[in-house]
């Protein structure tokens, strides 16, 4: 059949223009059911796919068909076997209430406020008073283990406590993505998926950076976001970096995410670390000498999850052996990770050493091949090991702008998957940097 052959050709050509994954996901069950001078009809397995192809790929499909048949047909998309009167299958009578994903152990009560998280806490608490109000969306970001997930749950719990009828959902972005992929299988689950996310009063999405680079998820999330936002529903997002720095996140999402309030959480200072240790010890029903807690707080900087882990280690040691303060202090210095000794300067130094370059050359305008490579590796390591911001990296590398920096990092990321020699060089530089800390 003519249509079938043409569509087969079109799909293999689309595979080279889009990607195999996209074609498999969205075109797998499509057919060209009609083709004439007037137009072409593409039949799709469900409405979600029909809408997606129409909004995202219609132009490319038109071009592709034109390149095969010599004229560009007017496209229409239909849903295969759409039976509008098909009776709805009845679900179980007692369908379990959708789980809100909230964990009751994360509350505002057990979240200690300090200088580093004050902004994020007050923004989150403001949402409790006015969901869908001024801080919409609220975007929280920080490095790992600094309390974003805790705050999302605390907010959800507080909202439900204030008004149990609110429909609130806590959802890691990865779960959203997986559910979306499953929902594409058939029309009924697609509409269930949409209904679930679009009928919420409050949507809390954790680790939103996960959707970056995933086209279908970004598209669906954009639509979900808009629908909730327009109806005045509250959206809160958490990420490991600010929206502008999430690579491969569509521009329209970046601007939506920045449209409300963006608040970061910084690394905790000594006072906050100590206060957290006191509180966690109390929560465990234990006690611990103040000097021991202080030593622990001095030793473990940066990440609160690590701080908790170290405290648990210490508490169980103290429980298993009758230990004096000095025994415990010894444990801390002997067994717990030492604070990191390297900063951005050390990373730059190690890369220069490795590439036998003078740091001044690295910061100079020189564009010899080896210097450019060293600069890009430095940017990559500053980002990945040092979690340094793009603009700071630009400054450290002689005043380069953040797009150049980003380009360099992405280039190295790509090269590392293909170039063994480069991988060895980067690994060696890494060992040099990290090796200094042990
Ligand atoms: P993130 O989502 O930013 O990676 P989490 O919210 O998972 O971090 O926090 C890591 C751990 O540290 C959790 O057990 C959390 O309860 C705890 N934590 C973080 N910040 C605080 C805080 N300010 N007060 C009490 N516990 C905290
Ligand atoms: Mg988290």
Tens-place pLDDT, residues 88-129: 333 333 333 348 999 998 999 999 999 999 999 999 999 999
At residue 86 the predicted structure's pLDDT band, cuts being 50, 70 and 90, is: very low
Which residues partner with 238 through β-bridges? 140
Judge if the beta carbon of residue 116 lies within 6 A of ligand 1: no
Residue 431 has pLDDT above 80, yes or no: no
- State the CB neighbour count (10 A cutoff) for residue 336: 17
d(CA 364, CA 345) in angstroms, rounded, equals: 16
382 vs 21 pLDDT, higher one: 382
**Cβ 148 vs Cβ 308: under 8 Å:** no
Judge if the beta carbon of residue 142 lies within 6 A of ligand 1: yes
Encoding tokens for residue 80?
């295969």
Which ligand ends up closest to the CA of 309? Answer: 1
Residue 318 has pLDDT above 90, yes or no: no
Residue 270 has pLDDT above 60, yes or no: yes
- Phi-psi region at 82: left, alpha or beta (left = phi > 0; alpha = psi -120 to 50): beta
Through-space distance between the first and last CA atoms of the chain, rounded to whole angstroms: 69
Judge if the beta carbon of residue 430 lies within 6 A of ligand 1: no
pLDDT at 83: 57
**Cβ 261 vs Cβ 130: under 8 Å:** no
Q: What is the mean pLDDT of residues 223-245?
A: 96
- Give the predicted TM-score (pTM) of the model: 0.61
CA atoms within 13 A on the CB side of 339: 11
Range of weakest confidence among 13-27, 280-294, 423-437: 423-437
Encoding tokens for residue 9?
């050709």
CA-nearest residue for atom 26, ligand 1, is: 111
d(CA 408, CA 375) in angstroms, rounded, equals: 8
Q: What is the mean pLDDT of residues 291-320?
A: 86
pLDDT at 92: 34
Residue among 304, 306, 308, 309 to mutate when testing ligand 1 (max atoms within 8 A of CB): 304
Residue 269 has pLDDT above 80, yes or no: yes
Percentage of the chain beyond pLDDT 70 is 93
69 vs 217 pLDDT, higher one: 217
Q: Find the 119 Cα to ligand 2 centroid distance in Å.
A: 17
Q: Which helix (H) or strand (E) holds 403?
A: helix 402-418
Q: What share of the chain is helix, strand, coil (3-state, %, to 5)?
A: 55, 10, 35
CA dist 221 → 119, 182, 237 (Å): 26, 15, 12
Judge if the beta carbon of residue 239 lies within 6 A of ligand 1: no
């Amino acid at each position: 059949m003519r249509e079938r052959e043409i569509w087969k050709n079109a799909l293999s050509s689309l595979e080279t223009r889009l990607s195999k994954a996209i074609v498999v996901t969205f075109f797998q069950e499509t057919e060209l059911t009609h083709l004439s001078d007037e137009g072409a009809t593409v039949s799709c397995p469900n409405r979600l796919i029909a809408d997606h192809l129409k909004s995202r790929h219609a132009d490319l499909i038109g071009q592709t068909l034109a390149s095969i048949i010599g004229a560009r047909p007017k496209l229409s998309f239909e849903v295969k076997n759409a039976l509008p009167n098909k009776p709805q299958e009845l679900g179980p009578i007692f369908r379990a209430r959708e789980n809100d994903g909230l964990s009751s152990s994360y509350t505002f009560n057990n979240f200690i406020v300090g200088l580093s998280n004050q902004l994020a806490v007050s923004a989150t608490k403001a949402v409790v008073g006015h969901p869908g109000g001024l801080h919409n969306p609220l975007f929280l970001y920080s490095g790992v283990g600094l309390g974003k997930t805790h705050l999302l749950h605390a907010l959800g719990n507080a909202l439900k406590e204030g008004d149990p009828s609110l429909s609130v959902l806590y959802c890691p972005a990865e779960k959203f993505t997986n559910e979306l992929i499953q929902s594409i299988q058939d029309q009924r689950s697609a509409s269930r998926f949409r209904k679930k996310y679009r009928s919420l009063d409050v949507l809390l999405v954790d680790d939103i950076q996960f959707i970056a680079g995933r086209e279908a998820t970004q598209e669906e999330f954009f639509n979900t976001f808009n629908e909730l936002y327009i109806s005045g529903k509250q959206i809160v997002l958490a990420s490991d970096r600010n929206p502008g720095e999430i690579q491969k996140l569509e521009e329209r999402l970046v601007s939506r995410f920045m449209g409300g309030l963006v608040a970061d959480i910084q690394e905790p200072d000594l006072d906050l670390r100590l206060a957290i240790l006191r509180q966690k010890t109390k929560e465990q029903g234990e006690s611990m000498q103040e000097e021991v807690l202080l030593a622990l707080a001095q030793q473990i900087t940066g990440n609160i999850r690590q701080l908790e882990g170290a405290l648990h280690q210490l508490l169980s040691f103290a429980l298993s052996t009758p230990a004096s303060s000095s025994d415990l202090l010894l444990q801390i210095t002997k067994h717990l990770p030492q604070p990191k000794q390297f900063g951005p300067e050390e990373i730059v130094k190690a890369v220069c050493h490795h590439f036998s370059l003078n740091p001044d050359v690295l910061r100079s305008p020189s564009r010899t091949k080896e210097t450019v490579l060293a600069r890009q590796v430095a940017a990559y390591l500053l980002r990945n090991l040092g979690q340094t911001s793009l603009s700071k990296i630009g400054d450290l590398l002689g005043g380069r702008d953040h797009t150049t920096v980003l380009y360099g990092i992405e280039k190295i990321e790509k090269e590392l998957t293909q170039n063994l020699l480069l991988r060895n060089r980067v690994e060696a530089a890494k060992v040099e940097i990290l090796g200094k800390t042990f």
